[in-house]
Chain A
């Protein structure tokens, strides 16, 4: 199975130009016999949208979104968009489309609103973390900050996901003597979760600059043993091709049977106890 990580350079607020970028990448992917093309977070719109969020939001039946979905007839697609829900709440959403229809939508749950980030000002919060069936097996999607919460990839793996897809827009930060801090932490994060959940992890990341903020690219794929199997170029657009062997998942889970041994009842019981304790503490005078 061949995955294509579509490391594009979206133009801020320009759906027309970004759609064209998507079409080009998809065409290129088809020529390379790719089975699944994964675009980054907010790939149709760009990232620091601020008030543009309202203008680039699209309902799922909007012609531009339907055009993207129709491009999934020959190759499965994951792309990022601003979704307007029927009750006019805007979500930072990732869409999985296959065979010309939408298979699953993940609405970003954890919206960073600190430091340089301002997402909760514009986006509603997703309420679900669920894996879903595809023609390649069960997958789970997360968007950037979601991956920073241990529970998110855990829930997806417990829900049956063998493939974790992470759509991201991560600014280049903390340029120290050793290199790019923001890239290094992603390596650690993705490697650990690939290993702990015994899953492939695909990190699709963008390039380009928005008001002086550089997105570093370097899209990555980790195998279920936590080993880096491919990384795209830093800073340059690229279709990163990753060939994967589903049997690796089986082998990893035989070798490290954490999923088998995981006690979800214990987790649920302890979580309920912790919730009760926290709520009680919150109301204690």
Chain B
């Protein structure tokens, strides 16, 4: 049994019906993009599993000729990330671009030589997103998101950076489910097998930085968020209370990243508060 199957065997409630999930996600992707008047999509490809799965879903939904993948390395990015992204590009046959973001990032941080890795990482994430949005105008394409439910809940991402997009097919899938679907859709093994990393410095891994594994936190999130278990019930299932508290604090603290900007109310109908329409309004 491979690693993903082992995890799903231990947590069968995280398993999704692959065929059905792909059917729903690809149809919804196509409909949301086409309703908005676009017939192309564009996405950033980091070499990691999330953007790879987004790419494979887009190819399923639109065919390879309507999908553009963009690689945006910085000088310290691992060469293997670039190669892994290339493997996905070769496998799907989509058009791709590579844009080195080193010049603009370095030019900016010349003014702030002491900037922390956090600031640098956030700046890179936002730089990449401005590039994607710029190219989306050139290609007349919508930007497709690559943030999964685990990251979104934990707030483990950069607001208006990698968390930005027009349509996000992964936002209701936990990382473990991203792994399951990636295997199903044939994402290259080298991408599936490597430890998830934001690739901000050498040997950085998400799980090292977060202090827990995605599999552990996905199991917790399933019970905490989907099943609304109480602290006592979670403790009975064997989740350590400091783990539960830490994750809960993260979810609460990062709620701001998941919401539109707060609008200070004056009128009778305020956008988002009592002026309420879906984005698909009339489309």
Using CB atoms and an 8 Å cutoff, list the residues of chain A in contact with chain B.
Answer: 11-14, 48, 50-52, 172, 175-180, 208-212, 214, 234-235
- Chain A to chain B contacts (Cβ below 8 Å), 21 pairs: A11-B283, A12-B278, A12-B282, A13-B281, A14-B282, A48-B278, A50-B277, A51-B276, A51-B277, A175-B21, A175-B24, A177-B12, A179-B20, A180-B20, A209-B27, A209-B35, A209-B280, A212-B28, A212-B167, A214-B24, A214-B27
A14 to B32, CA, bound (A): 16
List the A residue with the shortest CB-CB distance to B8. Answer: A177
**Of the residues A178, A180, A211, contact of B278 by C-beta under 8 Å:** A211
Determine if A175 and B278 form an interchain contact, defined as CB atoms under 8 angstroms apart. no
Q: Which of B1-51 contact A (CB under 8 A)?
A: 12-13, 15-17, 20-21, 23-24, 27-28, 31-32, 35
Contacts of B265 in A (CB 8 A): none
Determine if A175 and B16 form an interchain contact, defined as CB atoms under 8 angstroms apart. yes
Given contacts A175-B16, A177-B15, contact A50 B276 (CB under 8 A): yes
Determine if A179 and B281 form an interchain contact, defined as CB atoms under 8 angstroms apart. no
**Of the residues B17, B24, B275, contact of A177 by C-beta under 8 Å:** B17
The 6 closest A-B pairs by CB, nearest first: A177-B15, A50-B276, A209-B31, A211-B278, A209-B28, A12-B280
A48 to B24, CA, bound (A): 18
Contacts of B167 in A (CB 8 A): 212
Determine if B31 and A13 form an interchain contact, defined as CB atoms under 8 angstroms apart. no
Contacts of A178 in B (CB 8 A): 17
Determine if A50 and B278 form an interchain contact, defined as CB atoms under 8 angstroms apart. yes
Minimum C-beta distance from B38 to chain A (A): 15
Of A50, A52, A210, which is in contact with the most chain B CB atoms at under 10 Å from its CB? A210
List the count of A-B residue pairs having beta carbons below 8 Å apart. Answer: 61
A170 to B125, CA, bound (A): 37
The secondary-structure label for the interface of chain B is mixed
Given contacts A50-B276, A210-B278, A211-B280, contact A235 B23 (CB under 8 A): yes
> How many chain B residues touch A (Cβ–Cβ < 8 Å)?
24
Determine if A51 and B275 form an interchain contact, defined as CB atoms under 8 angstroms apart. yes
A190 to B16, CA, bound (A): 25
A234 to B35, CA, bound (A): 20
Determine if A12 and B17 form an interchain contact, defined as CB atoms under 8 angstroms apart. no
A138 to B93, CA, bound (A): 59
List the A residue with the shortest CB-CB distance to B269. Answer: A51
The yes or no answer to B111 lying at the interface (CB within 8 A) is: no
Minimum C-beta distance from A52 to chain B (A): 6
Of B24, B35, B167, B279, which is in contact with the most chain A CB atoms at under 10 Å from its CB? B24
A11 to B20, CA, bound (A): 24
A178 to B17, CA, bound (A): 6
Determine if B21 and A208 form an interchain contact, defined as CB atoms under 8 angstroms apart. no
Contacts of A14 in B (CB 8 A): 282
List the A residue with the shortest CB-CB distance to B169. Answer: A212
**Of the residues A13, A172, A209, contact of B282 by C-beta under 8 Å:** A13
A48 to B20, CA, bound (A): 23
Contacts of A179 in B (CB 8 A): 17, 20
Contacts of A13 in B (CB 8 A): 281-282
A50 to B23, CA, bound (A): 27
Q: What are the interface flags for B145-177 relative to A under an 8 Å C-beta threshold, 1 for contact and 0 otherwise? A: 000000000000000000000010000000000
Determine if B32 and A52 form an interchain contact, defined as CB atoms under 8 angstroms apart. no
**Of the residues A50, A51, A208, A234, contact of B31 by C-beta under 8 Å:** A208
Minimum C-beta distance from B60 to chain A (A): 14
Contacts of B276 in A (CB 8 A): 50-51
Minimum C-beta distance from A114 to chain B (A): 13
